[in-house]
Structure 1
Amino acid sequence: MIKLRLKRFGKKREASYRIVAMDSSARRDGRPLEELGFYNPRTDETRLDVDGILRRLQQGAQPTETVRHILERASILERPVSKYAPKDSAVAVAEPATETATETAVEAAPSEDTSEAE
């Protein structure tokens, strides 16, 4: 499987990374199939070969999590839709549930009073 991942280079404690297409079983700093960009985390500098990245993605290459975040920030990939509902929807759903609980409590209260009267 082909992966889009980071290949480390630079001095000690001053790492920079190349975004490369590599076989998933290859070493981290092994020979890449293709170099597709550059990322420097210290200066947050990013240079990307957009055409090459899109071509590799269409061929079935899978980006690693870090590369996926870099591509999302560059608007090459879309951010996934959250699995969780927005907070506004959760509040709207909670309000009817509260009314139902109140109605249930009111209905339950007279039956308790009836049993006490006997």
Structure 2
Amino acid sequence: MVVIRLSRGGAKARPFYSIVVADKRVRRDGRFIERIGFYNPSAVEGQEGLRIEQDRLNYWRGVGAQPSPTVERLVRQAAAKAAPAAA
């Protein structure tokens, strides 16, 4: 099964996550199919903390990829942030 999940990077105590599409059997930080965004929980004011390529996310969901609960939460968070900007 193909999943959309976070892959950790960054230094100790300074996490940086890539949002990747990967096979469920591959380890968390291992091989992936495609990188579709990033999440930086320690982003300061003025830095971009979350970016998701919505077109690629929709494509992978359309072919059956399952997002992890955390990625699902981040997608909702990005949509809520983009909604006021579009209005």
Larger radius of gyration: 1
Alpha-carbon distance in 2 for matches of 1:73, 1:13 = 23
TM-score, with structure 2 as normaliser: 0.82
- Residue 31 of structure 1: CA displacement? 1.1
Following TM superposition, the consecutive aligned residue runs of length 4 or more in structure 1 with deviations greater than 6 angstroms are none
Q: 2:72 aligns to what?
A: 68
| Higher RCO (CA-CA < 8 Å; seq separation 6+) | 2
1:48 shift after superposition: 1.1
Q: Does 1:18 align with 2:22?
A: no
Higher strand fraction (1 or 2): 2
Provide the residue aligned with 2:62 in structure 1: 58
In structure 1, the residue matched to 2:9 is 9
* 1:27 maps to 2:27: yes
* Cross-structure match for 2:40: 40
Deviations 1:13-66 (A, max 9, x none): 101000000001110000110000000011270011111111000011000010
Higher helix proportion (structure 1 or 2): 1
| Superposition deviation, residue 73 in structure 1 | 1.1
Query: TM-score when scaled to structure 1?
Result: 0.61
Kindly provide the amino acid, as one letter, of the partner of residue 52 in structure 2: L
Partner Cα distance (2:71, 2:29) in 1: 16
Alpha-carbon distance in structure 2 between the residues aligned to 1:48 and 1:73: 11
1:114 is matched with none
The letter for the 2-side match of 1:37 is: G
Aligned length: 76
